[in-house]
Amino acid sequence: MIPGELPQLQKRVTQEQVERYAQASGDFNPLHTDPEYAAATTSYGRNIAHGMLVMAFLSEMMAAAFLDAWLSGGKLQARFRAPVYPGDTVTTFGAIKSQREAGETVHLEYIVGCRNQDGGEVVTGEATVDVPFSAVER
């Protein structure tokens, strides 16, 4: 069965998580990790989360829904529309846009993204995945 709406993930982003992500990714841009820099020199006024950290939530949602098909052929296009601040709670969403048969698979396109606790879209994009018929006919 093809999911029309993907199960949402909810994540509360903390400054501690942003710093862990900086360590894991090697991205120590002070915009993310230095409160004084962010306050003094950016329009955000404080640290923001890495876009790739928030994008990882979308990939987690897709992997949870499609597993192998996501790891072998998944595509994700993301636009970082608005900052995610430490303390924000981000909720992912995914809704089917189109589906079509493609040989032994079904090609699925989803509108995906993340919203903050105020309902504002912070990341928007599309995800595509080719799922074997055998997996969707169950």
Partner 1 sequence: MQHNDDGKRALQALSPGDALLTSSMAFTWKEIEEYLEAVEDPQTLYWERQVVPPMALATRAIRELLSQLSLPPGSVHIAQDVEFVAPCRFGTALTLEGRLFQNAVRGPMHFLGITFDVHDPQGTVILRGKSTVILPVSAGTR
How many positions of this chain bind partner 1 (CB under 8 A)? 38
Return all residues near 127 (Cβ < 8 A) that are at least 6 apart.
58, 62, 74, 75, 76, 77, 94, 109, 110, 112
In the shown chain, the binding pattern of residues 9 to 48 toward partner 1, with x for contact by CB under 8 A and - for none, equals: --x-----x--xx-xxxxx-xxx-----x---xx------
In the shown chain, the binding pattern of residues 56 to 95 toward partner 1, with x for contact by CB under 8 A and - for none, equals: xx-xx--xx--x--xxxxxxxxxxx---------------
Query: In this structure, how many other beta carbons lie within 10 angstroms of the beta carbon of residue 132?
Result: 13
Q: Which is nearer to partner 1, 41 or 98 (CB)?
A: 41
Q: Which is nearer to partner 1, 115 or 125 (CB)?
A: 125
What does the binding site for partner 1 look like in residue numbers (CB under 8 A)?
Answer: 11, 17, 20-21, 23-27, 29-31, 37, 41-42, 50-53, 55-57, 59-60, 63-64, 67, 70-80
